[in-house]
Amino acid sequence: MSIFKGAGVAIITPFKDNGDINYEKFAEIIEMQIQSGTDCIIVCGTTGEAACLSEEEHFAAIKFCVEQVHHRIPVMAGAGSNSTRSAIYYSEEAEKVGADALLSVTPYYNKTTQRGLIEHFKDIAAAVSIPIVLYSVKSRTGLNIEPETVKELVDNVPNIVGIKEASGSLGQAEKIKAICPEVELYSGDDELTVPMMAVGGIGVISVVSNVAPRYVHDMCMKALNGDFEAAAKMQLNELDLVEALFCETNPIPVKEAMNMLGYGTGPLRKPLIPLSDANRERLRKSLTDFGLLK
């Protein structure tokens, strides 16, 4: 059974001006997402600035999200590391605080071989009982999960069930589904949501859903219901917004967008810095043209 089908939000982490996590705002954003039809919340991922959270903050944020959601929709927790031992620890702790599933990124910086990836993910899966979604994002980690590796893991490890495919390659997504049809395929690129669903994907783990959750949910539902003509029109209509939200390193633009929309999500954590003036105006125009700002 799928963890979710449709639109999962890669949720931002709001901070106070002093840099602490703003749990009051976090609760408001979670409620907004649920009320807007979001099908899953992915907490402490790249968009949530997980790389700049302490261990204590990481687990506290997951626990808070789980308790706030209270079983209304699934919560998937980011729990990856470039150290297998650390990834196991993060995964175990996420399971302890009630996450429904894990998002496990490929080891970054030190990298490894495809055989090393298999051993890494097998060890993580053996330490927990909840489902795991692999996360392949070579642009950030320098390491791709090859389709044959996905097949070996999904075929042989019961709780490795899916992949967030963020290679930017529709061809790779097609190859994964062709050789491993049972895998739960999620787009990790907002611009490829509908194309990936057209070749067997079941949804997206979305940055855009932070600012337009109902829109992304509805687009995914049209695709899931086979109305790809309507879904494709929605995909093309959001293209400018997608480009604006990735005009600088994610989550710099989306955090700025949330602040523009009045959510008061606060600053970024360094080394991420505020959006440039030129891109701020680009983003403001895109939000206005899309009907999110007046």
Show which residues are catalytic: 135, 164
User: Which residue in the block uniquely carries the two structure tokens 């998002």?
Assistant: 103
Whether the bond into 213 is cis, omega within 30 of 0: no
Task: Label each residue of the chain as H, E or C.
Answer: CCCCCEEEEECCCCECCCCCECHHHHHHHHHHHHHCCCCEEEECCCCCCHHHCCHHHHHHHHHHHHHHHCCCCCEEEECCCCCHHHHHHHHHHHHHCCCCEEEEECCCCCCCCHHHHHHHHHHHHHHCCCCEEEEECHHHHCCCCCHHHHHHHHHHCCCEEEEEECCCCHHHHHHHHHHCCCCEEEECCHHHHHHHHHCCCCEEEECHHHCCHHHHHHHHHHHHCCCHHHHHHHHHHCHHHHHHHCCCCCCHHHHHHHHHCCCCCCCCCCCCCCCCHHHHHHHHHHHHHCCCCC
